[in-house]
Amino acid sequence: MAAGASTGLYLVASIIGIGVVAQVLSDRFEVPSIIFLIAAGIALGPEGLGLVTRSTFAGALPSIVGLSVAIIVFEGAFHLRLEKFRETPAATTRLVTVGAAIALFGTAGAVKFAFPQTSWEFAFLIGALLVATGPTVITPIMEVVPVRDRVEAALETEGIVNDVTAAILAVVVFEVIVTGGSTPAEFLQLFVERLGTGMVIGTIVAGVLYYALRYVDLSPGNAPQNARLLVLAGALIAFAAADFVFAEAGVAAVAVAGIVLGNLDIPYEEDISEFKGDITLLVLSFVFIALAALLRFEDLLRLGLGGVFVVVAVALVIRPALVFLTTVGDRFTFEERAFMSFVGPRGIIPASVATLFAVELQSEAAALRAEAAELAGGGAEAATVCTTGGLGAEAAAACARAAQLDSGATLLVGTVFLVILATVVFEGGLARYIAEFLDVIPMRVIVVGGGQVGRTLADRLEDRGENVVIVEVDEDAVETARNQGHTVHIGDGTDTDVLRSAGADNCRILVAATGDDDANLLTAQLAKSKFDIETVMARANNPNNVEAFEDLGVRTISSAVATAQAMDNAIERPALANWMGEIGRSGDVQEIEVTSGEMVGRPVHEVGPELPGGVLIALVARNGETRVPDADFTLEKGDRITLIGNRDDVREAMEFCHPGE
């Protein structure tokens, strides 16, 4: 094997290995992995060890980046569920339309103000790229900052949609720069052509994949693997086909294909998600490290105070303005809107597209200098012709245009990477602390015991939006719980320090659900005596221990009694038992405190018809007493009411009764 090829192989393997380590460190320290990836890229690049430079990948970098972006965007879109979008449809729609427009024009204006010598075309090119927040930076933050579903859904939807918007806008503006300008009508036509092409091709590919997965025999013995490979191939084909028709239409194609396919009922969905998640981790690591390695500090230093001004404007002025304007009058609390204002880091789309555009601009500038040398004649060299005097009008114009493109390329890369570095490092690194300061992280529910009972309880609690942490010491149980998607803290639940590190100081409910009654009793007593936890509950495996537990002030559930009651319900009340089995899926029962001014002081017969979907008020708890309310029962502030009905309707009714919950 040639020495150059061998070195390249080792380098690629090292980059991927570093990416995996970055992910492990991210999980360990609860910091977005992007921070470690950028640091690794700078260390490997010309500003560090010099192992990765602009010539390392020769002309293959655009293709590598393009296919990697296709996988990353498809994976993010595949996990975007429309039911999450329904949490706040109006606000999210405004965020990706009005908000994107504010980001575009606001950023362009900030760039033009900070660098008066630059043209409006370059200002809008930078503004278009910095519209994108992107799932590659939002998702890692959401993994370590477990905010409410409505906040997570809005931020992730914004990231996915704005990746597409930014990529297409940037390409259109770039074509305007290279070709020398176009009318607004032509600009709009270019944008619609790319977006429309991507949507059509993406929908077609998603339809073909759905049919193949649903109705074609994929070899029963190896169907999950074939399904994974088929979806990966489909994403790449969608990207390449759309990009072949119009540049950057591929990003729209894979985003649409991912959203459509992810919201259809397809077989092997869990296998596909896990596989694409692993692939995305690898390509994300490679691309971020490779692009960060191309960064030169001199490009950042040339920006001076103008660059600092743009960063401050983007992060602390434009972002808060667009969030507060687009979410006004919606379900978000002030604190949640403030947190969303802070979380707007830029990611892979601005980094990759800015780098590729800079290379093309510099190539165009070199071609113009070569043209100037030909016009000058007399054996003039392209590299120096523009520094000599006495040039003709045409040669001088070519040199002036080349200088403008070179300056624009430097400004483009420097500004975009400076904003990326600042927003990723500060917003990503401080997101959890800001969330805790603003109190937007729902209070935790700690389940001590990762066995079957603990995991099943965690499933139900997470399904209704609780922030659940399982505490487990057994390695096999930890692995099982994590494989099922639960957050697990390793340790002994009878240890005060373990409970504190699991979040007991910010815990609303603690359940001791191990198979050991002594451990459950000790855990419950520690929770009551050391932490101010609203609800502490213990599982009693031996029914003879229930009375002893309750004598010590521990609310206790007997496994034997609970099982017997469930069986009795199935025998004597089969309809109720069957419906109760559907809780969390089609039906639901929830208890909520009444705080809404629309309910306080009104009788049940007036409030009932206003609840969505025929949800019923089954019970009312007041001053320690619980009753079945009649039609004339008047609700008061602080009443805890039990709602029963369809799952989605109950969740909507909870928001009606207790806005902001």
Q: Is the pLDDT of residue 522 over 60?
A: yes
pLDDT band at 168 (very low <50, low <70, confident <90, very high): confident
Which structure tokens are listed for 516?
């050991």
Q: Is the pLDDT of residue 654 over 90?
A: no
Counting residues of the chain whose pLDDT is more than 90, the rounded percentage is 11
Q: What is the DSSP letter of 634?
A: B
Cβ neighbours of residue 15 closer than 8 Å, sequence gap 6 or more: 40, 44, 52, 285, 286, 289, 290
The arithmetic mean of pLDDT across residues 335-355, rounded, is: 84
Name the more confident of 6 and 191.
191
pLDDT reported for residue 507: 84
Collapsed DSSP state (helix, strand, coil) of residue 546: helix
pLDDT band at 96 (very low <50, low <70, confident <90, very high): confident
pLDDT reported for residue 112: 92
Counting residues of the chain whose pLDDT is more than 70, the rounded percentage is 89
Torsion of CA 629, 633, 634, 635, to 10 degrees: 0
The arithmetic mean of pLDDT across residues 190-208, rounded, is: 89
Q: Is the pTM of this model over 0.85?
A: no
pLDDT reported for residue 581: 63
Helix H or strand E encompassing 539: strand 535-540
The arithmetic mean of pLDDT across residues 333-355, rounded, is: 84
Bridge partners of residue 584, in order along the sequence:
none
Check: CB of residue 138 under 8 Å from CB of residue 76: no
pLDDT reported for residue 638: 84
pLDDT band at 237 (very low <50, low <70, confident <90, very high): very high
Q: What is the DSSP letter of 603?
A: B
- Residue 512 CA from chain centroid, whole number: 32
Check: CB of residue 465 under 8 Å from CB of residue 149: yes
Cβ neighbours of residue 109 closer than 8 Å, sequence gap 6 or more: 123, 127
Considering only 139-148, 194-203, 252-261, 483-492, which range has the smallest mean pLDDT? 139-148
**pLDDT tens digits, residue range 10-49?**
777 777 788 788 778 877 776 667 778 778 888 887 777 8
- Mean pLDDT score across all residues of the chain: 81
Residue showing tokens 């935790």? 444
Q: Is the pLDDT of residue 114 over 50?
A: yes
pLDDT band at 1 (very low <50, low <70, confident <90, very high): very low
Bridge-based pairing of strands 640-646 and 616-622 is antiparallel
Collapsed DSSP state (helix, strand, coil) of residue 511: strand
d(CA 330, CA 148): 14
d(CA 565, CA 181): 76
Cβ neighbours of residue 425 closer than 8 Å, sequence gap 6 or more: 35, 38
Closest to 248 (Cα-Cα) out of 308, 320, 204, 195: 195
**pLDDT tens digits, residue range 478-504?**
888 888 878 888 889 888 888 888 888
Name the more confident of 456 and 57.
456
d(CA 146, CA 436): 10
Q: Is the pLDDT of residue 59 over 70?
A: no
The dihedral sign for the CA sequence 59, 62, 68, 74 = negative
In Å, what is the CA distance from 250 to each residue of 69, 149, 241?
10, 29, 7
Check: CB of residue 458 under 8 Å from CB of residue 468: yes
Q: Is the pLDDT of residue 425 over 50?
A: yes
Angle between helices 149-179 and 249-262 (to 10 degrees): 160
**pLDDT tens digits, residue range 263-276?**
888 888 777 777 66
Which structure tokens are listed for 81?
């569920």
CB hemisphere CA count around 581 (13 angstroms) = 10
d(CA 51, CA 53): 7
Burial of 217 (0-12, 13-18, 19+ CB in 10 A): exposed
pLDDT reported for residue 110: 94
In Å, what is the CA distance from 374 to each residue of 108, 362, 365?
36, 19, 14
Q: Is the pLDDT of residue 120 over 70?
A: yes
pLDDT reported for residue 390: 65
pLDDT reported for residue 83: 64
The arithmetic mean of pLDDT across residues 379-393, rounded, is: 67
d(CA 337, CA 91): 11
Which structure tokens are listed for 594?
């009444």
pLDDT band at 6 (very low <50, low <70, confident <90, very high): low
Domains, the chain, with CATH or none: 3-354+428-438 (1.20.1530.20), 444-571 (3.40.50.720), 585-657 (3.30.70.1450)
Check: CB of residue 654 under 8 Å from CB of residue 590: yes
